[in-house]
A and B are shown apart, each in its own frame.
Chain A
Amino acid sequence: MTLVKTKIGRRAFIRNTGLASGGLVIGFSWLASCKMTPEQVNNLPKEWFDLNGFLKVGDNGMVTIMSPNPEIGQNVKTSMPMIVAEELDIAWKDVIVEQAPLNTDIFTRQLAGGSQSIRQGWESLRMAGATAKQMLKEAAAQAWNVSADEITTKDGVLTHEASGNSAGYGEMASAATSIEVPEEVQLKENGTFSIIGTDKKNVDGPKLVTGKPLFGLDVYKEGMLTAMIVHPPAFGMKYKGMNADTVKSMPGIKDVFHFEVYPEGIEKQWSDQGGIAELVAIVGNSTWECMQAKKALEVDWEQDSTAESTAYHEEELTALLEKPTETPARKDGDVNAAFAKAAKIVESTYSAPYLAHNTMEPMNFFAHVTPEKAELLGPIQTPEFTEKTVAARLGMPVEKIDIMMTRMGGGFGRRLYGPFVIEAAVISQKMNAPVKLVYSREDDMTQGTYRPSYKVKFKAGLDDEGNLIAWHVRGAGTNDDLIFENRFPAGAVDNYLAEKHSLQTNVTTGAWRAPRSNFIAGAEQAFIDEVAEAAGKDPLDFRLELFDRAINNPVGDPESNDYDPARYAGVLKLVKEKANWGTDTGKARGVAAYYCHNSYVAQVIELEDGGDIPRVDNIWCAVDCGIVINPLAAKNQIEGGMIDGIGHSTYSAMTFKDGKPEQSNFDTYRLIRHSEAPKNIEVYFVDNGIDPTGLGEPSLPPAIAALSNALYKATGRRYYKQPFINDKPPLVG
């Protein structure tokens, strides 16, 4: 076993700090309607004992484990409590999971983003379980007058073999609350887990399939009003004025007013990115009445900055790709000298449009602001940061702001940014009433905070033996500079130059599932295929050659490279084996590998025959994310990420005309559907016992390249411009 100090997050383990706030969650009436199964109700304990902020043990041995992080569909509400339960040694069937409220005194990093929940929660979650287990052991040791070291635990039962004593956790829970929090606890060795590494179904599954209220949009409270917003119709415009009188008298409408979300001087957090400074609010009794008023309301807007169109963005990005940067992001060797002596040179440019997040549940939030306090409830990935802006905007101390998290109908990065929470709070304060703010789909899609538009140019040089001797990448994005200069193939090529530009635009952008990687991986891994072809080598083996170089004789300081070339090569070798790469199946295949968010993923995609964009028939995917907590859910994330990558790169785009978004709903913005989804997906994990890393994002980026490389084999065309459905380059040759 591993002995660890309990210093990390130690405040969390001090008794009786946490569940006072846990009680708050239960107090919300809408949650009371989330019925438990009859079995759970019958088994509910009469009394709960808080052992630390993460968990409480009932007098009958049931355990409630708090899931600290926001649940956006990445399944942390199941997998994080699994880690606690593992170290606590409780049977999973005896666990009830609750969503923890925002409480930074107890929980560290209550944020969903960057695929980091599991990676960064790993240690504290284990300690929470192990600490409670140790306290239960100490309590039993005192009761039985034996040494705690001689007590063993299994499935919620304490046993002292020598004396023949045995007791359930529930029997010792009361006594355990008066045990000192241990200074050190023992964690289990990898390989001895009984819950981690096993398939556990989504804890919210039964509620999801029966339509129970779980989401922010499902919040309905006594006396609650509904609010909608009207935002400028185009980027570069701002509010000028309106005549709200006729609309105010419409049925069910309580008020229509203009308001400042972010007045001058308000201190913003990074989570306020994308927020619109001034909006119009429509407040009424019901959603439909607000929607009717919204249609009828005429607001005057005025031009505030340039009205940008997609053509403008494309031209400007193209111009930037012709411009050397003053200081390269990374430079190894001398690319120009290498290109001068290269036997072959390959050059290509790839691009992708803006994308909307389009969470299926549009932005919304409940707020009830009174002079005494502000209660906020809804879907937000960054409650801790948002809370600060709410406090600043309402002019209230942060202690008086309570933010509680609902399950989220998708995040994909969109709910990292919480201007809609501020908007809900301001509207509630003005109305002096509980209010639920609801964005229409159109509001949601045209509001901004998009995945940036990107363009990148690659140039590679090969010697006469087909070895890669030079690599030059210059990338540009809107409000984003795209390039990760220390990622592959940096470190694997002697002469390497990475340059990056950012084009400032007024179309707002933000993190979108696997930021930057969601484009650059597809471009880089497609270009590698072009280079492999020029070198006359198998594309998979060509990549392995480069990793061999990075393992055996890395260019520059190996510490400067973001990736571990051995783990990278590991997933490629695994997918090579599983897909039987190299055997002719008669179908077009493509391969790609990528590293991001601390995990490694390689994929082989095989297409059906026929069609403009042939459908994906089979995917083999190999993943190295270290220890897999819940394989059933992990595979779900990986499958979804690949379908997300394939869908968006094939079908989706946000475009603009004079600052106005040209897509506003799913009739004009195309998302992948059932009949376009891959038919079969197989997922394999590298079993290496390394501490776990995240899975919310890493499978998406390489899928785009594995697809476009397969498309090349199927059609003879390289696909340079996303969405691929619109890319009709001339036939090669």
Chain B
Amino acid sequence: MATYTLNINGTKQEVDVDPSTPMLWVLRDHLNLVGTKYGCGIAQCGACTIHLNGTATRACMLTVSSVGDQEITTIEGLSEEGDHPVQKAWLEVDVPQCGYCQAGQIMTASAFLEKNPNPTDEEIEMAMNGNICRCGTYTRIKKAVKLAAKS
């Protein structure tokens, strides 16, 4: 076990965990930030996507010991009132079905749009390809990303 001071959603958080613990489980089990979801544990589904210094990162393969003082943003910290343009677009298009993967989809989309504010359909698809939606809301996700890009 070791103690880490993490910079999460703009707040310093201290945890005492095994160094090999992935951030996914640090967030969920130790910090009660459960918006970051467990889907596969091997960076194949994207349900656990967070921002590490603004870059979309899979929390399930990111060990707590490798984070240091880098800035972590989770879905809970994407906006204070749930009004990030991507979140608003998701509601406007009524994207979710079961909704389980959507936090990860939103985190990937929001990091992507920061870097590419006017993407083509193909660029959206390539950026989002690491996020699986088992319910098949892909066409609505694309619509929402385009809507968010416009705002």
B44 pairs with A288, CB closer than 8 A: no
Query: For B132, what are the chain A residues with a Cβ–Cβ distance below 8 Å?
Result: 360, 666, 671, 673
Q: Which residue of A lies closest to B45 (CB)?
A: A666
Q: How far is the CB of A239 from chain B (nearest CB, A)?
A: 24
Query: For A287, what are the chain B residues with a Cβ–Cβ distance below 8 Å?
Result: 25, 28-29, 38
Q: Mark B91-104, 1 if CB is under 8 A from A, else 0.
A: 10010111111110
B37 pairs with A636, CB closer than 8 A: no
Could you give 16 example pairs across A and B, Cβ below 8 Å? A72-B98, A210-B87, A211-B35, A286-B29, A288-B18, A360-B132, A361-B100, A409-B101, A410-B98, A412-B134, A440-B41, A633-B94, A636-B97, A643-B138, A643-B139, A677-B138
Contacts A210-B79, A286-B30, A642-B136 known; list 6 others, CB within 8 Å: A208-B99, A218-B34, A220-B32, A287-B28, A288-B20, A633-B94
A73 pairs with B29, CB closer than 8 A: no
Q: Does chain B have a CB within 8 A of A441?
A: yes
Are A674 and B125 also in contact (CB < 8 A) when A209-B106, A360-B134 are? yes
B135 pairs with A217, CB closer than 8 A: no
Interface residues on chain B, number (Cβ under 8 Å): 62
Are A667 and B44 also in contact (CB < 8 A) when A287-B29, A674-B125, A677-B138 are? yes
B136 pairs with A641, CB closer than 8 A: yes
- Which of A201, A205, A438, A637 gathers the greatest number of chain B CB atoms within 10 Å? A205
A226 pairs with B29, CB closer than 8 A: yes
B44 pairs with A209, CB closer than 8 A: no
Q: Does chain A have a CB within 8 A of B54?
A: no
Instruction: Tell me the bound Cα distance from A544 to B75 in angstroms.
Output: 51
Query: For B44, what are the chain A residues with a Cβ–Cβ distance below 8 Å?
Result: 665-667
Are A410 and B135 also in contact (CB < 8 A) when A288-B18, A360-B39, A675-B125 are? yes
Instruction: Tell me the bound Cα distance from A206 to B139 in angstroms.
Output: 20
Instruction: Tell me the bound Cα distance from A637 to B94 in angstroms.
Output: 12
Instruction: Tell me the bound Cα distance from A411 to B79 in angstroms.
Output: 30
Q: Does chain B have a CB within 8 A of A640?
A: yes
Query: For A213, what are the chain B residues with a Cβ–Cβ distance below 8 Å?
Result: 34-35
Instruction: Tell me the bound Cα distance from A586 to B5 in angstroms.
Output: 61
Q: Which residue of B lies closest to A285 (CB)?
A: B29
Query: For B131, what are the chain A residues with a Cβ–Cβ distance below 8 Å?
Result: 674
A359 pairs with B96, CB closer than 8 A: no
A677 pairs with B136, CB closer than 8 A: yes
Beta-carbon contacts under 8 Å, B30-85 to A: 30, 32-42, 44-45, 47, 74-76, 78-79, 82
Instruction: Tell me the bound Cα distance from A75 to B121 in angstroms.
Output: 28
A674 pairs with B142, CB closer than 8 A: yes
Q: Which residue of A lies closest to B32 (CB)?
A: A220
Q: Does chain B have a CB within 8 A of A249?
A: no
Beta-carbon contacts under 8 Å, A545-591 to B: none
**Closest 4 A-B residue pairs measured CB to CB?**
A211-B35, A73-B98, A409-B100, A643-B136
Are A75 and B101 also in contact (CB < 8 A) when A210-B76, A667-B42 are? no
B98 pairs with A674, CB closer than 8 A: no
B103 pairs with A211, CB closer than 8 A: yes
Q: How far is the CB of B96 from chain A (nearest CB, A)?
A: 5
Query: For A206, what are the chain B residues with a Cβ–Cβ distance below 8 Å?
Result: 82, 91
Query: For A212, what are the chain B residues with a Cβ–Cβ distance below 8 Å?
Result: 35
B22 pairs with A407, CB closer than 8 A: no
Instruction: Tell me the bound Cα distance from A407 to B139 in angstroms.
Output: 23
Query: For B106, what are the chain A residues with a Cβ–Cβ distance below 8 Å?
Result: 209
A217 pairs with B42, CB closer than 8 A: no
Q: How far is the CB of B81 from chain A (nearest CB, A)?
A: 9
Q: Does chain A have a CB within 8 A of B7?
A: no
Query: For A677, what are the chain B residues with a Cβ–Cβ distance below 8 Å?
Result: 136, 138-139
